[in-house]
Chain A
């Protein structure tokens, strides 16, 4: 991979993201012309005074704006967390859910729905549930000292995830099938339809609190993909670094899941695509992965609200688009894994 093709990959990804963002603002049940968008942007960003249809203004500021920002934030967060985990666990099949953050968030949200709580409480339940699940997994993983620490973490994540999954199944079984069950199913499928500016304001600081340390650690993350003994002999306190990365990735994922519900595939697929484009070196991989994740989820979300008269859950679309793409990647990938 030459420097030139890496620069090209970055430029193409950023251009695609920009084009998609404009398209996402324009497309929808209330289509907006590029001129109208430009006028709105000029008014709000540069203090101009063009005449704009107030309905268009509401659509852009109150409905599409927050939703687009949420898609970008959630996509970038899931992709960044997935990139970190795939490197750290030295495994291409790892997604941000591996340590149970999604299962915990789902249980928290489902509990909130089951007890008929407000949307805010449900979101807080999802966020808290995600953090709690990973905290339990870390505690269990740390208590089995006789095993390989990575294996202990992954096994603990699977066990806790399964336990939470069965608790969710129990709650679904007990839930009111007319009011609560559809809400639970809808949440578990993931959606960005209901994201409000307040949701964004709540989730963004936590997502950033995870993203910033990960970005700062971007070169050192490379060392976590080496065997533990090697990384330690090179001067890295492996256990502490790994814990820091897990905490950062968990914060990001939990914040994302709290506003979007569970949207699969982004955190699994996007790191692969990015790695094929710029190679495994983490300080180059992470930014591209975030850009691609944001663009991918924005594209999926825009499709999900424009393809059909009713919204198609984005979690379903990511899988429908993701599966063939993933198979193609695997068939064509030569060098990204040994």
Chain B
């Protein structure tokens, strides 16, 4: 569904990564790990077509991003931003409805089909009770779920989530991870970034570990997330062990 070949990404005048190959099918979850400044956000923006690729191609459902209009991309790939920066007090329903933009004509307003799609996305995330609440007054976890609902309302089958568990409390982190697993089970292709390597064991089928200087590792969580690799990338001692059949990461202080 989402495919990158020999991808070079970075900002004008500064290359961050080179020669990245990536392939993500329906039902797969890719966890993106790496230190601060390791290029996670840059890679995300390039995958979303918000930043032009410096080399290589990104393909979405077989089509190169460069040949697609913004609305075409939006119908195929949804983006869940890390912090929702809206200053205005939209209700959850209004915000989710904005996910329908790519399906609505330039001069048109949302129709019944769009309202139904937004309602369906709200119900799918189980936030029906919040629909009339104002988004700026929600807790971080509730807002994250609303933003996921907005991405679902887009009708996209590939989702990119930028640190979806950042600044959430423990319970909400678990809820968001559970949501990611559920979406994958429904056939979505999901990419998410995180600072907690343990989350990859819980929710991801594949891991891409980015390090400073463009080095990286890719593979299954068990292959990539080892004490040695984490030490190389983050510079701290970590133990990786199995607990009731699930691997966990424990830092050594």
Chain A residues engaging chain B, CB cutoff 8 angstroms: 87, 90, 216-220, 222-223, 225-227, 229-230, 232-237, 279-281, 283, 335-338
Is the C-beta of B201 less than 8 angstroms from some C-beta in chain A? no
- In angstroms, Cα B95 to Cα A222, docked, is 9
By beta carbon, the residue of chain B nearest A213 is: B107
Check B106–A217 contact: CB distance below 8 A: yes
Cβ 8 A contact of B88, one of A225, A229, A230? A225
Among all A-B residue pairs, the 8 with the closest Cβ atoms: A235-B74, A235-B102, A233-B79, A280-B88, A235-B71, A216-B107, A219-B109, A338-B136
- Asked whether A233 and B87 contact (CB < 8 A) given A226-B98, A338-B136, the answer is no
Check B70–A279 contact: CB distance below 8 A: no
Known A90-B87, A227-B85, A233-B77; 15 more pairs at CB < 8 Å = A87-B88, A219-B104, A219-B110, A220-B101, A220-B107, A225-B87, A226-B85, A226-B98, A230-B81, A234-B102, A234-B150, A279-B90, A280-B90, A281-B91, A336-B88
B60-98 residues with Cβ-Cβ distance < 8 A to A are 70-75, 77-79, 81, 84-91, 94, 98
Cβ 8 A contact of A336, one of B48, B74, B89, B137? B89
> Which A residues are CB-close (under 8 A) to B78?
233
In the assembled complex, the CB of A48 is this many whole angstroms from the nearest CB of chain B, namely: 41
- In angstroms, Cα B79 to Cα A236, docked, is 13
Check B108–A219 contact: CB distance below 8 A: yes
- In angstroms, Cα B158 to Cα A233, docked, is 12
> Which A residues are CB-close (under 8 A) to B70?
232, 235-237
Is the C-beta of B165 less than 8 angstroms from some C-beta in chain A? no
- In angstroms, Cα B110 to Cα A226, docked, is 18
By beta carbon, the residue of chain A nearest B154 is: A234
> Which B residues are CB-close (under 8 A) to A90?
87-88
Cβ 8 A contact of A222, one of B79, B87, B94, B107? B94
- In angstroms, Cα B50 to Cα A217, docked, is 23
In the assembled complex, the CB of A150 is this many whole angstroms from the nearest CB of chain B, namely: 12
- Asked whether A335 and B110 contact (CB < 8 A) given A235-B71, A235-B75, A280-B90, the answer is no
- In angstroms, Cα B45 to Cα A281, docked, is 28
Check B87–A337 contact: CB distance below 8 A: yes
Is the C-beta of B99 less than 8 angstroms from some C-beta in chain A? yes
- Asked whether A235 and B85 contact (CB < 8 A) given A217-B107, A222-B98, A229-B45, the answer is no
- In angstroms, Cα B104 to Cα A217, docked, is 11
Check A233–B74 contact: CB distance below 8 A: yes
In the assembled complex, the CB of B246 is this many whole angstroms from the nearest CB of chain A, namely: 33
- In angstroms, Cα B97 to Cα A222, docked, is 11
Check B89–A279 contact: CB distance below 8 A: yes
> Which B residues are CB-close (under 8 A) to A235?
70-75, 101-102, 154
In the assembled complex, the CB of A301 is this many whole angstroms from the nearest CB of chain B, namely: 31
Check A227–B101 contact: CB distance below 8 A: no
Check B87–A236 contact: CB distance below 8 A: no
- In angstroms, Cα B79 to Cα A7, docked, is 35
> Which B residues are CB-close (under 8 A) to A220?
101, 104, 106-107
Check A229–B136 contact: CB distance below 8 A: no
> Which A residues are CB-close (under 8 A) to B73?
233, 235
Q: Residue among A234, A236, A280, A336 with the most chain B CB within 10 A?
A: A234
By beta carbon, the residue of chain B nearest A2 is: B132
Is the C-beta of B134 less than 8 angstroms from some C-beta in chain A? yes
In the assembled complex, the CB of A239 is this many whole angstroms from the nearest CB of chain B, namely: 10
By beta carbon, the residue of chain A nearest B134 is: A335
> Which B residues are CB-close (under 8 A) to A336?
88-89
Cβ 8 A contact of B89, one of A217, A230, A237, A335? A335
> Which B residues are CB-close (under 8 A) to A226?
85-86, 98
- In angstroms, Cα B107 to Cα A226, docked, is 18
> Which B residues are CB-close (under 8 A) to A283?
109
Cβ 8 A contact of B87, one of A217, A219, A232, A338? A338
By beta carbon, the residue of chain A nearest B45 is: A229
In the assembled complex, the CB of B139 is this many whole angstroms from the nearest CB of chain A, namely: 14
By beta carbon, the residue of chain B nearest A222 is: B98
Check B81–A234 contact: CB distance below 8 A: no
Check A222–B102 contact: CB distance below 8 A: no
In the assembled complex, the CB of B131 is this many whole angstroms from the nearest CB of chain A, namely: 13
Cβ 8 A contact of B81, one of A217, A229, A237, A338? A229
> Which A residues are CB-close (under 8 A) to B94?
222, 281
In the assembled complex, the CB of A73 is this many whole angstroms from the nearest CB of chain B, namely: 23
> Which B residues are CB-close (under 8 A) to A225?
86-88
In the assembled complex, the CB of A248 is this many whole angstroms from the nearest CB of chain B, namely: 12
> Which A residues are CB-close (under 8 A) to B137?
335
In the assembled complex, the CB of A243 is this many whole angstroms from the nearest CB of chain B, namely: 14
- In angstroms, Cα B78 to Cα A232, docked, is 11
- In angstroms, Cα B109 to Cα A283, docked, is 8
- Asked whether A218 and B88 contact (CB < 8 A) given A233-B78, A235-B74, A335-B134, the answer is no
By beta carbon, the residue of chain A nearest B13 is: A146
- Asked whether A335 and B98 contact (CB < 8 A) given A232-B50, A234-B154, the answer is no
- In angstroms, Cα B88 to Cα A8, docked, is 22
> Which B residues are CB-close (under 8 A) to A223?
98, 101
> Which B residues are CB-close (under 8 A) to A87?
88
Q: Residue among B74, B84, B104, B150 with the most chain A CB within 10 A?
A: B74
Check B81–A227 contact: CB distance below 8 A: yes
> Which B residues are CB-close (under 8 A) to A280?
88-90
> Which A residues are CB-close (under 8 A) to B75?
235
